[in-house]
Amino acid sequence: MNMEQKTIDIPKVFHCDYTGGPFQKCIQCEMKLYEGDVPYLIEKALKPYGSYEAYSTIFEYAVCLGCADSMKSMLSKSSLANLMNYFQQHVDFYAHRAHLVAQEEYDPMKWIEKCLVSRRDVNELAECQIYASCQGDQLVFSEFPYMISGPVLDEVVDLLSAETKDELDNYRKEIVDGPSEFQDLLKSGPKVFV
Ligand SMILES: [Zn+2]
């Protein structure tokens, strides 16, 4: 791990709400993550009730970088080009990180309190997704963690080709029929976690 990379114990907001503990395995290949050494990503879609103090979980998973790459390969060329264009125009990852690092703000909640693209605060949002990069039991500060607000996610989905949307739909169906904890969470509907 890069010496300049600051890490902390994975905070509760990035835990698995279904089990109440940290994510253990990759949703796709089931590789051990929390007790392992490979880098991985956590993604959660939430409906916050004014803050991250109370929210319901729409979906959540952890995925190893290898599987995350294979998910990316499902995107068509035009979708990928559109996405890259969009993020280049709208997001300055470097500024996002540099500002917080300059203030020595390694509070992960500060990193996810405003949408990376629109800068809207979590307290104004009906829906958002949060992302973290982790290794073992540590959250690694890089361009992650960050939050993307619901309206921005809708814009991003509109950039995807019909072909890519079909692929992603099929993938989602496969996942939902797959690991049981994911399925159970979706079936049981939103919950509130305080
Ligand atoms: Zn995996």
Q: Tell me if 2 is assigned to some domain.
A: no
- CA–centroid distance, residue 61 to ligand 1 (Å): 11
Cis amide leading into 145 (omega within 30): yes
Confidence class of residue 74 from pLDDT cuts 50, 70 and 90? confident
Enumerate residues with CB within 5 Å of ligand 1 (an ion): 26, 28-29, 31, 64, 67
Q: Tell me if 94 is assigned to some domain.
A: yes
Q: Tell me if 194 is assigned to some domain.
A: no
Confidence class of residue 1 from pLDDT cuts 50, 70 and 90? very low
Q: Residue 45 belongs to what domain range?
A: 7-188
pLDDT at 5 over 90: no
Q: What is the pLDDT of residues 111-140, one digit of tens each?
A: 999 999 999 999 999 999 999 999 999 999
- CA–centroid distance, residue 32 to ligand 1 (Å): 9
User: What does DSSP assign to residue 11?
Assistant: P
| HSE-up (13 A, CA, CB side) for residue 101 | 16
Burial of residue 162, with CB atoms counted within 10 A of its CB: 0-12 exposed, 13-18 middle, 19 or more buried: exposed
- CA–centroid distance, residue 25 to ligand 1 (Å): 8
| Domains contained in the chain, number | 1
The beta-strand segments (E) located in 85-162 are 128-135, 138-140, 146-149
- CA–centroid distance, residue 79 to ligand 1 (Å): 23
- CA–centroid distance, residue 30 to ligand 1 (Å): 6
User: Looking at residues 144-163, what average pLDDT do you find?
Assistant: 88
In 3D space, the residue among 178, 175, 157, 184 whose CA is nearest the CA of residue 75 turns out to be 157
Q: What is the pLDDT of residues 85-113, one digit of tens each?
A: 888 888 887 788 888 888 888 999 999 99
- CA–centroid distance, residue 169 to ligand 1 (Å): 19
- CA–centroid distance, residue 42 to ligand 1 (Å): 12
